[in-house]
Structure 1
Amino acid sequence: MVLPCLDEAAALPWVLARIPRGWRAIVVDNGSTDGSPDLARELGATVVREERRGFGAACHAGLTAATADIVCFCDCDASLDPTDLLPFVREVHEGEADLVLGRRRPRGRDAWPAHARAGNLALARMLRRRTGLRLHDLGPLRAARREPLLALGLSDRRSGYPLQMVVRAADAGWRVTEHDVPYLPRAGASKVTGTWRGTWQAVRDMSRVLAEPPAPTPAPTPGGTTP
């Protein structure tokens, strides 16, 4: 379980208490100043330090540090419950899908600001035109096998990382599925979509990813073949 973290001390106890039994929590500290790394260690998580700022940089550092066959990603702000990943992992493990995403369903008016929701919807439509995938959300809750993810050669280290993962998976012929998950009001202020400026930056990063041409030689699918 990869948990990118930047000043999430208020949320860490809630999040780490919900890590399914037997799973390894990897908290990737991306420059916290509120004691998050020490707290995560006290709560039993493995802590990885990523000096380069950026959501993608933190996620990829966690992916690299992971050792399990299946890797999950989840925000560390208490907006998403890690236990919701259990059916995602079963679906990947049983070979029913290669990448499983969570479609966020807000619980409460403050869970997902209107500007962030609008930006996400626009990007989902752009993704559909680019790949044909009929997804409704590009949220952070997801599961896939580690080695095939690394083989995708993900290069974005900012807000475009989650989208680049989906685009390159689609180009490689992966089976991508989506399931509804509750989306709760986060603890603290969002570093990406909490403001119009942050949302605009995220949309710009993701638009750049969508403008990339398809890879000439797709990465192998998790089953070991190329389309």
Structure 2
Amino acid sequence: MIETSSLSVDVVLPCLDEAEALPWVLERIPPGWRAIVVDNGSRDGSPDIARALGAHMVHQPQRGFGAACHAGLAAATADVVCFCDCDASLDPRLLPKVAGPVLDRSADLVLGRRRPTARGAWPPHARLANLELARLVRRRTGLRLHDLGPMRAARREALTALELTDRRSGYPLQMVVRAADAGWRVTETNVPYHPRTGRSKVTGTWRGTWQAVHDMRAVLAERPPTAPRTDTGLAGGAR
């Protein structure tokens, strides 16, 4: 087994007004891994807190979950990059479990399948929307995924080669769709999902959830390439 604590991995943490959750999240980043906090316009002092706790700070004035994630990817330098929400709903101590198959090259993209720990962790409307999107992804790509969760891991250069363009809520989905189109081995592993700290900016309301669904439907409407985008050096085939 690879000793993940000894490897350099960058963890991208998109952040918008997460001052309350940041200390809990950052203290759980695995030893030796670098936290990249991407501030997306916080007004609650989040950047100062993250900087004081030793995180690498990136400022992304363009609003949007995808804009923040992609800015973090651009700032990353490690071979493997993880993504994780910054609201304490997901425990960064589980990142080695998610990144392990990427580090040992048995998978190209690993998603954390969220398993709610309490009734309030995942609002019914958000869970239903996620199930529908997972069904559409299966139909579009053949990937038998149950969740499109935000905790995930992949190799940095390969992710960059996907040339992701969505800068809103569709970014995580576009990553999965383009990875599937490129023949990546995409898997998922269970991770506990806790009630978030603070109010969700996306799935906390029906309106926010269905705006996210709208963004993601646009991604699913993309036509698969007729030929591979680029030679990323990844092994394909296993789904």
**Which contiguous aligned blocks of 4+ residues in structure 1 show a shift greater than 4 angstroms?**
224-227
Answer yes or no: is the 8 Å Cα contact 1:72–1:142 preserved in 2. Answer: yes
Name the counterpart of 2:53: 43
| Sequence identity percentage | 73
Answer yes or no: is the 8 Å Cα contact 1:78–1:187 preserved in 2. Answer: yes
Question: Which of 123, 137, 149 does residue 113 from structure 1 map onto?
Answer: 123
Amino acid at match of 1:62: G
Name the counterpart of 1:179: 189
Name the counterpart of 1:88: 98
TM-score by length of 2: 0.93
Structural mapping, 1:159-178, within 5 Å:
159-178=169-188
Amino acid at match of 1:186: R
- Alpha carbons of structure 1 residues 62 and 29: separation in structure 2 relative to 1, 3 Å: same
Q: Alignment partner of 1:110: what SS?
A: helix
Name the counterpart of 1:20: 30
TM-score by length of 1: 0.97
Mapped pair 1:206 → 2:216: yes
- For structure 2, which runs of at least 5 residues remain unmatched after alignment? 1-10
Distance in 2 separating the partners of 1:118 and 1:41: 37
Question: Which of 103, 108, 119 does residue 98 from structure 1 map onto?
Answer: 108
Mapped pair 1:146 → 2:156: yes
Answer yes or no: is the 8 Å Cα contact 1:218–1:226 preserved in 2. Answer: no
Distance in 2 separating the partners of 1:219 and 1:17: 38
Mapped pair 1:64 → 2:74: yes
- Alpha carbons of structure 1 residues 221 and 181: separation in structure 2 relative to 1, 3 Å: farther
Q: Alignment partner of 2:120: what SS?
A: coil
> Once the 2 structures are TM-superposed, how far is the Cα of residue 90 of structure 1 from its aligned partner?
1.9
Mapped pair 1:8 → 2:5: no
Name the counterpart of 1:217: 227
Which has the larger displacement, 176-185 or 80-89?
80-89
Distance in 1 separating the partners of 2:88 and 2:80: 22
Amino acid at match of 1:135: L
- For structure 1, which runs of at least 5 residues remain unmatched after alignment? none
Q: Alignment partner of 1:103: what SS?
A: strand
Q: Alignment partner of 1:40: what SS?
A: helix
Q: Alignment partner of 2:34: what SS?
A: coil
> Once the 2 structures are TM-superposed, how far is the Cα of residue 89 of structure 1 from its aligned partner?
1.8
Amino acid at match of 2:30: P
Q: Alignment partner of 2:20: what SS?
A: coil
The alignment covers a number of residue pairs equal to 227
Once superposed, what is the RMSD of the aligned Cα atoms? 1.2
